[in-house]
Chains A and B, each alone.
Chain A
């Protein structure tokens, strides 16, 4: 059964850093890009970024570039979201999600490597408060 499980959330103070993990199982992890999406309490979905199937490329929404970093370890079937200089505005549930497109070296060597999200984790809550 395909599954994504996020972990690493919790309560932190403004200015802190936090690293979230997303552990995958049940599918060929190393062939798919993985996204991070967050949702502040009572608000809509906000895309954070995506890492390519091989970890060589990552794209981010402009507002989080430079502060958030997505990476992956294919040997451990895990994706990470490193978040620095957290503010109260970063309080949200953070989801990882599997992309729809199965990449190979030929199909994703350049250009597009992400599309839409077919599998989501249950999310991990991050609360930033003093």
Chain B
């Protein structure tokens, strides 16, 4: 099974900051990675797929990078609406998908 590890688990930031979340895979997944955003009491929402392709309607302040085993999600000019939990998900495996443990972005 492919294990996904996110860091940090909690990230404290202010409006206007640039923040970066890291996601590491236990084996190479080229760019078969998606990112989701989840707000309290809500279902997750797809942000990005193929590591760096923004889902339609997602603001351009979100960007993704990386390949192989290390990936990043960066939010530039953090907005109040961006305080949430972010999850990465690999989808290379033919047997199943797996999520990272999540990174909570909260107000400093």
B20 at the interface (CB under 8 A from A): no
Segment at the B interface, from A9-17, A21-29, A44-52, A79-87: A44-52
Residue of A nearest to B38 (CB): A45
Segment at the A interface, from B10-18, B72-80, B89-97: B89-97
Q: Are B96 and A123 in contact (CB under 8 A)?
A: no
Q: Which residue from A49, A95, A117 sits with its C-beta under 8 Å from B96?
A: A49
Which DSSP category, helix, strand, loop or mixed, fits chain B's interface? loop
Within 8 A of A (CB), among B48-101: 49, 55, 87, 89, 91, 94-101
B34 at the interface (CB under 8 A from A): yes
User: How many residues on B have C-beta within 8 angstroms of the other chain's C-beta atoms?
Assistant: 24
Least Cβ–Cβ distance between A92 and chain B, in angstroms: 13
User: How many residues on A have C-beta within 8 angstroms of the other chain's C-beta atoms?
Assistant: 26
Could you say which residues of chain B place their CB within 8 Å of the CB of A61?
96, 98
Number of A-B residue pairs having CB atoms within 8 Å of each other in the complex: 61
A7 at the interface (CB under 8 A from B): no
Could you say which residues of chain A place their CB within 8 Å of the CB of B91?
114-116
Q: Are A44 and B96 in contact (CB under 8 A)?
A: no
Q: How far is the CA of A59 from the CA of B89 in the complex (A)?
A: 16
B45 at the interface (CB under 8 A from A): yes
Could you say which residues of chain B place their CB within 8 Å of the CB of A45?
36, 38, 44, 87, 89, 99, 102
Could you say which residues of chain B place their CB within 8 Å of the CB of A44?
87, 99-102
A111 at the interface (CB under 8 A from B): yes
Whether A116 touches B97, Cβ cut-off 8 Å, given contacts A44-B87, A45-B87, A100-B49, is: yes
Within 8 A of A (CB), among B14-44: 32, 34, 36, 38, 42-44
* Chain B residues engaging chain A, CB cutoff 8 angstroms: 1, 32, 34, 36, 38, 42-46, 49, 55, 87, 89, 91, 94-102
CB pairs A–B below 8 angstroms (9 shown): A44-B100, A44-B102, A45-B38, A47-B97, A59-B96, A61-B98, A115-B49, A117-B36, A120-B43
Further contacts, 6 of them, CB under 8 A, given A50-B97, A116-B46: A47-B97, A59-B95, A61-B96, A97-B44, A116-B91, A117-B36
